Amino acid sequence: MDAQPVKSNAPSRELLEKIFRTAYKIRVFETEGIKLYRQGLVRGYFHPYLGQEGIATGVCAALREGDFIASTHRGHGHCIAWGADIRRMVAELLQKESGYCKGYGGSMHIADITKGNLGANGIVGAGTPLGVGAALANQIKGSDAVTVTFTTDGGSNNGTFLESLNLAAIWNLNFILVIENNGYAVSTRIEESTRDTDLYKRGLAIGVESHQVDGNDPLAVYRLTEEAAATCRAGKGPVLIEAKTYRHMGHHVNDPGKYMPEDRLAYYKARDPVDRARDALVQMSGIDAGEITAIEAEIQGEFEEAVDFAKSSRELTVAEFHEFVAQY
Amino acid sequence: MREIMYRDALREALDEEMARSSDVFIIGEGIAERGGSYKVTEGLLAKYGPGRVRDTPIAEAGMIGVGVGAAIAGARPVVEILYIDFAMLGMDMIVNQAAKFRLMTGGSGRVPFVMRTQGGTGGGVAAQHSQSLEALFYHIPGLKVVMPSVPADAKGLLKYALRQDDPVMFLEHKHLYMTKGLVPDGEHIVEFGKADIKRPGKDVTLIAWSNMIPRTLEAADELAKSGIEAEVIDPRTLVPLDKEAILKSVAKTNRAVIVQEAVRRGGVASDIASIIQEEAFYDLDAPIEIVAGLNIPIPFNLELEKASVPQKDDIVAAALRSLHAKPLALAAE
């Protein structure tokens, strides 16, 4: 007898396509963004999210409108997964007035509080208390919104990790802390910065429901986040998720990442989250190769259009800057 | 008008603003059931419930950061830090997060965050519980710095702070909580950036804030015995600073003495002095005097603690030096 597919648990084509589109969009944004950086069009720092796409993609797909996120210094992926307009993102990288922060913030500070994005952060670990604060604000306002903070293995060694997660725990906040454990804090291997590299256990120590997941499997991340959000909305939050992943390159664009062993990099590249999102879509929805190609071309075109938009946007004038400064 | 204590004035401000907006809430150590070490939040738990008046663990960085995050997300938190010294644990959240968010988002993000804390010397609580650290916050663009000296200002400024969309460092003084003063009945709001003349005069301008105001007023009384009419100006908010009021007074008296409890080096008084010399140099008949704390951590010994910060006699002496200074042209003769 043939096994019947379990329809209720099978992801819909719509969801699978959304996850692939998001992961692929992040991949294109980062790959093409690095090219813009190399051309000297993007200044400052650029911390690529390449290799970690599965986490932002899976997490954000499980959230709903009205929820909040707080990001890291490696924030483009979260921003895109949260539905940001990539035209305004590219414009911000190019320091243009049409950027999310009018060119005042740049790569590490893209935020959109009107959509519940509390922003990327130049201080490692700082998003955790800010996210807990948003969760507290929502609880006080009587909202069932969930706030997710993305932090890192580096951020988990910061004192506010424990301080604010503990506050979320004693107040049962709708808060999900996602640790993107990519194995490196800048160039320091996780084995050199902590004795127990299973970071989810830190949540267990203070009574927080905690899980570990393969961060390169966007569907697994999605499913776990969906459960965590439901736990929070049932008043049983917070939840900690440690998502294991790996960077595909150094800490930032100008870091060749020579300290990253090639075999380990190869291991993770063989488990590329974008490929896995594509494979899941193909295998579970029956989409044909032509449709996949069309989606990829569409996203590539969207990025190119964003670059044109950004390039044709103007920079703030010094006079406008002085007007803003006068308010300080 | 009623005569009430500084701490009661602060409580009235919190109470009225919590009643006015359900977005206002308070977190801090021992502020709920216990009502805070200085009894400012007493009774608010019973009135507004444990949702809006919350005790926290002793974790200042986390607590300040959570306040900042709540503000970014649209609530109006008041984070009470028992001693300003402990706010040092949360400096990243204050300096790198709260102060920067508005600019970093191109003006679209705002941070209606109030940190209430207290500083200053008194009572021998030694080096880690006696600092006057306003200059640290004064130095950081994006923060408002408020230092009320009397109950009416404490109430009016705190109410105003709770309606601001920018982070406010609301710095009280441990010695002022039980001082009394007249506070208007009903709605009483004091805008930021408006200095108050605590005593009018024409001979010398004495600029002071927080707990240096009562001491400077005593010095002015002392000077009055010799027929000297000192004008005492209280900026009330250091950021924004009402420099027009200061310059106007200096133009009238031609002399300026700035009094601060904080250590002299890198202090707010030095910055006010630089503003006066730059913008009112030709009004001056004497060098600007700064009366400030010694450049040391505060000692435990009560006599030495007293010797570390300006006293009435120090202020009187500075005013007299200023009054007796000969104009440069005459001195050369």
State pLDDT tens for residues A211-265. Answer: 999 999 999 999 999 999 999 999 999 999 999 999 999 999 999 999 999 999 9
How many inter-chain contacts (A to B, CB under 8 Å) are there?
148
Task: Say how far apart CA A162 and CA A176 lie, in whole Å.
Answer: 14
The model's confidence at residue A6, banded by pLDDT at 50, 70 and 90, is: very low
Distance from CA of A326 to the nearest CA of B (A): 11
Distance from CA of A127 to the nearest CA of B (A): 8
Q: Are A135 and A172 in contact (CB under 8 A)?
A: no
The model's confidence at residue A1, banded by pLDDT at 50, 70 and 90, is: very low
For the record, the structure tokens of A225 come out as 């986040």
A160 touches chain B (CB under 8 A): yes
State pLDDT tens for residues B276-304. Answer: 999 999 999 999 999 999 999 999 999 99
Task: Say how far apart CA B76 and CA B147 lie, in whole Å.
Answer: 20
Nearest residue, CB atoms, B51 vs list A126, A129, A140: A140
Compute CA distances B265 → A195, B136, B268, B273, B294, whole Å.
44, 12, 9, 13, 8
Distance from CA of B107 to the nearest CA of A (A): 8
Q: Which of B27, B52, B64, B72 is the mutation pick for testing A, counting most A CBs within 10 A?
A: B72
Chain A hits for B101, CB-CB cut-off 8 Å, are: 111, 119
Strands in A68-70's sheet, in edge-to-edge order, are: A68-70, A147-152, A175-181, A239-244, A209-214
- Chain A residue with the nearest C-alpha to that of B57: A167
Q: What ipTM score was computed for the predicted complex, to two decimals?
A: 0.94
Residue the block writes with tokens 């019947």: A4
Q: Are strands B144-146 and B237-239 parallel, antiparallel or unpaired?
A: antiparallel
Residues B244, B247, B252, B256, CA torsion sign: positive
Flag if B68 and A129 touch (Cβ within 8 Å): yes
Nearest residue, CB atoms, A141 vs list B75, B103, B108: B75
Region A40-51: mean pLDDT is 95
Nearest residue, CB atoms, B104 vs list A109, A137, A140: A109
Distance from CA of A54 to the nearest CA of B (A): 26
Distance from CA of A109 to the nearest CA of B (A): 6
Flag if A328 and B142 touch (Cβ within 8 Å): yes
B144 touches chain A (CB under 8 A): no
Distance of CA B188 to the CA centre of its chain: 18
State pLDDT tens for residues B206-215. Answer: 999 999 999 9
Region A292-306: mean pLDDT is 98
Distance of CA B238 to the CA centre of its chain: 7
Look at residue B166 in the predicted model and tell me its pLDDT: 97
Chain B hits for A128, CB-CB cut-off 8 Å, are: 65
Region B21-40: mean pLDDT is 96
For the record, the structure tokens of B7 come out as 């701490």
Please state whether the peptide bond connecting residue B310 to the residue before it is cis, i.e. omega within 30 degrees of 0: no
Flag if A328 and B141 touch (Cβ within 8 Å): yes
Flag if A133 and B22 touch (Cβ within 8 Å): no
Task: Say how far apart CA A156 and CA A202 lie, in whole Å.
Answer: 9
Question: What ranges in chain B are assigned the alpha helix state H?
Answer: 6-20, 44-52, 60-72, 84-87, 91, 101-104, 134-138, 151-161, 212-224, 243-253, 268-280, 302-308, 312-324, 328-332
- Chain B residue with the nearest C-alpha to that of A316: B106
B67 touches chain A (CB under 8 A): yes
Look at residue A10 in the predicted model and tell me its pLDDT: 86
Residue the block writes with tokens 């001491």: B215
What radius of gyration do chain B's Cα atoms show?
A: 20
Look at residue A327 in the predicted model and tell me its pLDDT: 82
A75 touches chain B (CB under 8 A): no
Return the number of other C-beta atoms located less than 10 Å from residue B47's C-beta: 11
A238 touches chain B (CB under 8 A): no
Look at residue A8 in the predicted model and tell me its pLDDT: 53
Side chain identity, residue B61: A
By C-alpha distance, which of B136, B130, B137, B239 is closest to B174? Answer: B130
Region B20-28: mean pLDDT is 98
For the record, the structure tokens of B98 come out as 């709260």
Nearest residue, CB atoms, A113 vs list B70, B72, B93: B72
Chain B hits for A70, CB-CB cut-off 8 Å, are: 69
Task: Say how far apart CA B136 and CA A170 lie, in whole Å.
Answer: 32
What are phi and psi for residue A240, nearest 5 degrees? -110, 135
Compute the C-alpha angle B265/B270/B272, nearest 5°.
Answer: 155
The model's confidence at residue B167, banded by pLDDT at 50, 70 and 90, is: very high
Distance from CA of A287 to the nearest CA of B (A): 40
A129 touches chain B (CB under 8 A): yes
Flag if A126 and B142 touch (Cβ within 8 Å): no
Flag if A132 and B67 touch (Cβ within 8 Å): no
Q: Which of A121, A132, A140 is the mutation pick for testing B, counting most B CBs within 10 A?
A: A140
Strand partners, B76: B24
State pLDDT tens for residues A68-82. Answer: 999 999 999 999 999
Segment holding B197, helix H or strand E: strand B196-199
Put simply, the chain B residues between 275 and 314 with a CB less than 8 A from any chain A CB are none
Look at residue B328 in the predicted model and tell me its pLDDT: 54
DSSP labels for A12-74? PHHHHHHHHHHHHHHHHHHHHHHHHHHTT-S-S-----TT-HHHHHHHHHT--TT-EEE--SS
Give pTM, 2 decimals: 0.95
- Chain B residue with the nearest C-alpha to that of A164: B62
All residues at 6 or more sequence positions from A138 whose CB lies less than 8 Å from its CB, including other chains: A68, A144, A145, A147, A174, B73
- Chain A residue with the nearest C-alpha to that of B106: A101
Return the number of other C-beta atoms located less than 10 Å from residue A144's C-beta: 15
Look at residue A32 in the predicted model and tell me its pLDDT: 98
Please tell me whether residue B316 adopts helix, strand or coil conformation: helix
Report, in this order, helix, strand and coil percent for chain B, each rounded to 5.
40, 20, 40
B193 touches chain A (CB under 8 A): no
Look at residue A303 in the predicted model and tell me its pLDDT: 98
User: Per-residue pLDDT for A199 more than 50?
Assistant: yes
Q: Which of B129, B173, B175, B188 is catalytic?
A: B129
Give me the percent of chain A exceeding a pLDDT of 90. Answer: 95
User: Per-residue pLDDT for A2 more than 60?
Assistant: no
Nearest residue, CB atoms, A104 vs list B73, B97, B103: B103
Compute the C-alpha angle A169/A170/A171, nearest 5°.
Answer: 90
Flag if B23 and A141 touch (Cβ within 8 Å): yes
Chain A hits for B92, CB-CB cut-off 8 Å, are: 123, 126, 160
What radius of gyration do chain A's Cα atoms show?
A: 20
Q: Is B129 a catalytic residue?
A: yes
Distance from CA of A278 to the nearest CA of B (A): 34
Nearest residue, CB atoms, B105 vs list A119, A138, A163: A119
Report the residue count for chain B: 333
Task: Say how far apart CA A297 and CA A295 lie, in whole Å.
Answer: 5
